[in-house]
Amino acid sequence: MPLHPWAQAHLAQPHMAARIPVEALSPHAARQQSRAMCRLVPPGETVARTADFCIPGPHGGMIPVRMYTPAGMGAGPMPVCLYFHGGGWVLGDLDAQDAACRSMANGAACVVVSVNYRHAPEHPFPAAPEDCYAAACWVARQGAELGTDPQRLAVAGMSAGANLAIAVTLMAKERGGPSIACQALMVPVTDHRFDTRSYAECAEGYDLTLRGMQWYWGHYLAHPADGAHPWASPLRAADLSGLPGAFVMTSEYDPLRDEGEAYAQRLRDAGVPVLSRCNAGMMHGFLGPQAVPEVADFLRSRLHR
Would you please indicate which residues are annotated as catalytic (active-site) residues? 159, 254, 284
- Strand (E) or helix (H) holding 122: none
* Residues pairing with 81 in the sheet: 112, 154
* Residues pairing with 52 in the sheet: 66
CB neighbour list of residue 78: distance below 8 Å, 6 or more residues apart? 69, 70, 109, 110, 111, 147, 148, 149
State phi, psi for 139 to the nearest 5 degrees.
Answer: -60, -40
* Burial class of 278 by CB neighbour count within 10 A (0 to 12, 13 to 18, 19+): middle
| Bridging pattern class, strands 62-69 and 49-56 | antiparallel
Between CA 185 and CA 298 the distance in angstroms is 11
Residue 126: asked if its preceding bond is cis (omega within 30°), the reply is yes
**Residues 21, 26, 28, 34: what is their CA dihedral angle, to the nearest 10 degrees?**
10
- Strand (E) or helix (H) holding 185: strand 182-186
